[in-house]
Chains A and B, each alone.
Chain A
Amino acid sequence: MNNGKNIGLYVHVPFCLSKCPYCDFYSVKYGNEAAKLYKSAVIRNISHYKSKFDTVYFGGGTPILLWKEICEILEKADIESSAEITVEANPCLANEEIFKALLKAGVNRISFGVQSLNDNELKSLGRRHSSFTAINAIELAHACGFGNISADIMLGTEDQTAASVTDTLKGLASLPLTHISAYMLKIEENTPYAKTRLKLPDEDEVCEIYLNTVAFLEAKGLNQYEISNFAREGYACAHNIKYWNCEEYLGIGPASHSFYKGERFFVKRDINAFCESEIQKTELEEKHPASAEEYAMLRLRLCDGLNLKEYEKRGGNAKKMTENIKKLPRKLVFLKDGNVLLTSEGFLLSNTVIGRLLGY
């Protein structure tokens, strides 16, 4: 079915206990009945698509709320034995029973939404947990047997300083983590944050914080492999790398996106419509996926960069791109062994830089 290619599975779990004021991902309030209906719909869809998956990612929302349902779903899905299976988790919902059940069902990677280890910052982000809860959750997951644990943190949040971020990073470095995602806060329209007056660090400070973070984590053996992602050797997220490599993945659930059997499509942000349909209704978003441009746009987010030969193979004009590199400052982008690489400062300007490389 998949021509020997490996296919990833992304399941969007759109349930949360409460909504964080900065978040614009699709989620609804958690309910027992709704969770059951949702689970059945996911299982129906998985059997419909009949694919074998080598990475699985439960994102959300707060997927761990549905830990029981996740275990059932994993039972029904056709998954390679060596597959990376990730569940996103909230530090508030950490207990032995949940972790053990997930491990038993095959989950081998857990990703905590830590955001910060500074309690004032956590409060201003509207998070329910404290730094203490977060540290305990990670340690417990490790004790239960998770060998691959990731933490998400946010950069550039209210009242944050370079020093407070360093404290968070120091704290994380002493925990049994294999992976860290560090996202710069972006104020999204239609979120409560967009309507709030926030004391955010200015642009220069955020850049400072980001560059510090990159340097600090590298020194601790957590190497940057993508704009916002850092991992110990061998622990880069295999599922996420598929996105940046233009490889295929199937998305299931409302608000999920897919690149599947040569097409990019998505499912509307509507939990009821999803549960009520036998098979999720999809809408085409791109007729010509994996074009040279798309490939370059995604690959250039990675520290490994864009291989010009591969770019050319997909129809890109390598010569032109090489010329465009020369027009840009060396401290932002450079060419090495046939690969186009962005520096950390280049990542900070990646929208403009990638556009320029493509001739815009």
Chain B
Amino acid sequence: MELGSYPENIRNFCIIAHIDHGKSTLADRILELTKTVAHRDMEEQLLDNMELERERGITIKARAVRLSYKAKDGIDYTFNLIDTPGHVDFNYEVSRSLNACEGAILIVDASQGIEAQTLANTYLAIEQDLEVVPVINKIDLPSARPDEAKEEIESVIGIPADDAPCISAKMGINIEAVLEQIVKCVPHPKGDKEAKLKALIFDSYYDAYKGVIVHIRVKEGTVRLGNKIRMMATGAEFLVMEIGYMGATGLIAAEELRAGEVGYIAASIKSIGDTKVGDTVTLADDPAEEPLAGYRNVNPMVFSGIYPADGSKYGDLRDALEKLRLNDASLSFDPETSIALGFGFRCGFLGLLHMDIIQERLEREYNLDLITTAPSVVYRITKTNGEIMLIDNPTNYPDTAEIQLAEEPMVCTHIFSPSEFVGSIMELCQDRRGVFKDMKYLDEKRVDIHYELPLNEIVYDFFDALKSRSRGYASYDYEIVGFAPSKLVKLDILLNGDVVDALSFIVHTDKAYPRARRITEKLKENIPRQLFEVPIQAAIGGKIIARETIKALRKDVLAKCYGGDITRKKKLLEKQKEGKKRMRQLGTVSVPQEAFMAVLKLDE
């Protein structure tokens, strides 16, 4: 493939779509049509190459690929397709990926219309001055209503959609129209290849041989093999060992990347922490004066303790987390000790999905059996002595007497739903201490409900509750807006009189009683009877607010050991031996792992 030498012939774009609306399928069709990948090499959904991504139908990390397309005007164009993560947790990464583009294809499902996430990302794209190119997908479905979808795009987003191509990515219908639309509508990149180098980092990943591979979009100037580069935010400097662009099935080395181009750099970078998404790459010897706008340090918002179920796997867990962090600078973890769970890590995540993904990857890819504690958000506590603390672990929550002001993070939430579920969704938000902001009808049938909610109320099971109240139709998106004062308390759980640190959590006063009752009940269900009676108590400070009792076990006996058949007795003993591995000894009480998990899933 020829390097596109004129910026006029380059088109940098991404695809915005809701889960299942066909982003990966369209990307696959484009790769096929531009013959970037021979049909026989096509692996379904080539861009999402993490197993988990394919299963969940989401993109976790951004990817990019260069294609070449001979348009109907007879000119060879170079396309850079930059795939973006589709989830709110990765909002910042999305914004940086979008910033590497001049245009965005907006895929709308012809039968389902616009969803909350699509809208959030489309607004992000418009904010970044991207040209949005709407495409109506899945027109092959009998329920397809392409005209209504177009109307919705015009009325909700406010961009013309009249000439939006109507396609079926799955069936390969009308894909070429999309490519022509890109050529026609997406502006070519601007930028001076002679100017001082400014390249945006929009993704990076760790390669065992080459070190960190940094994906960049050159905004100004030129970067060449052998250049000494500097990351403007971190100040780290490296020598460019390899440079080039991303083919669909591998890296293709080149001599240089010029303003307008998208490609990669390998520079023997050992730590992904040196290559922060959003940072600006410049030349160490001839640096730009100002970095590109928009960089920020991403802070984890949700924290959870992760412990190996088998204490001897602590080292394995640390290794696995370290490996995951090689590719995920937004994952943070610090060693933590719990009396109940032993040695583990306090991990910080961008959001709930991020947390879920990390836990699942640890279990699946690294074969670890984990116990996780209830997710917590970061609370801001102003103590009476004026000291300000950020608390991400209930264990560190100060004594009430020392607290002058407690604050919790708030989010601004948009919920999209068919109008018939409005009542029940508002009830849910109200119950979650939400403050109603406003509500807009997107059309006769669909509404956008806007609430301000405490993050603490949605980290738990908000998404599940929302889905069950809307028969799966509602979607939501949120954005952190800051801290607000709140009446918080720390709830402790006691087993047989001893506090179990791993079960403590911070909760709003109004929620303390019902939550305490629910947890004690759940624990009673999940802790087997012991040789003695075990009280389960929930307490705020020294005050017990809920109690359950596990009655003592009275009978567990094999009465008959007949005819010399001792196999049964042996099996029982084996079962006990196995069971012990899944038990945590908390003082005198044996608690199965399941009990810890069960309190994380408190049904409504």
Contact = CB atoms under 8 A, between A and B. Distances in A.
A327 B590 CA distance: 13
Contact of A348 (B532, B555, B580, B588): B555
Given A297-B569, A354-B573, A360-B580, A349 B563 contact: no
A10 B554 contact: no
A30 interface: no
B1 interface: no
B401 interface: no
Contacts of A255: 563
A184 interface: yes
Interface in B514-540: 531-532
A348 B556 contact: yes
B531 A332 contact: yes
Nearest to A249: B564
Interface residues of A, number: 50
B558 interface: yes
Contact of A186 (B554, B560, B567, B579): B560
A251 B531 contact: no
Given A10-B563, A10-B564, A301-B561, A355 B573 contact: yes
Contacts of A251: 563-564
A277 to B, nearest CB: 20
B553 A352 contact: yes
A227 interface: yes
Interface string A218-244: 000000000110000000000000111
Contact of A360 (B531, B567, B576): B576
Which residue of A227, A353, A355 has the most chain B CB atoms within 10 A of its CB atom? A355
Interface string A252-263: 000111110000
Contact of A207 (B554, B562, B567, B572): B554
Contact of B570 (A203, A204, A297, A329): A297
A179 interface: no
Given A347-B557, A350-B556, A59 B573 contact: no
A133 B559 CA distance: 26
Nearest to B579: A360
A360 B558 contact: no
Residue of B553, B564, B588 with most chain A CB atoms under a 10 A cut-off? B564
Given A228-B559, A349-B557, A352-B531, A257 B567 contact: yes
B577 interface: yes
Contacts of A285: 567
B557 A351 contact: yes
Nearest to A239: B564
Contacts of B564: 10, 242-243, 249, 251, 256-259
Nearest to A185: B559
A183 interface: yes
Contact of A184 (B553, B557, B572): B557
B565 interface: yes
Interface in A1-17: 10, 12
B38 interface: no
B565 A186 contact: no
B566 interface: yes
Interface in A297-343: 297-298, 301, 327-329, 332
B559 A294 contact: no
B554 A351 contact: no
A351 B556 contact: yes
A158 interface: no
Given A204-B554, A207-B554, A348-B555, A353 B560 contact: no
A139 interface: no
Contacts of B566: 243, 257, 264, 294, 297-298
Given A348-B557, A349-B556, A352-B556, A294 B563 contact: no
Nearest to A301: B561
Interface of A: 10, 12, 25, 57, 59, 155, 183-184, 186, 203-204, 206-207, 227-228, 242-244, 249, 251, 255-259, 264, 266, 285-286, 293-294, 297-298, 301, 327-329, 332, 347-356, 358, 360
Given A25-B563, A294-B570, 17 more contacts: A59-B562, A207-B554, A243-B566, A244-B561, A256-B563, A257-B564, A266-B567, A294-B566, A297-B566, A297-B573, A327-B588, A329-B532, A348-B556, A350-B556, A350-B558, A351-B576, A355-B577
22 contacts: A12-B563, A25-B563, A155-B559, A186-B559, A186-B560, A243-B564, A244-B561, A251-B564, A255-B563, A256-B564, A257-B565, A257-B566, A257-B567, A293-B573, A347-B557, A348-B557, A349-B554, A349-B555, A350-B556, A360-B576, A360-B579, A360-B580
Q: Which 7 A-B pairs have the closest CB atoms?
A: A355-B576, A360-B576, A184-B559, A257-B565, A351-B556, A183-B559, A257-B564
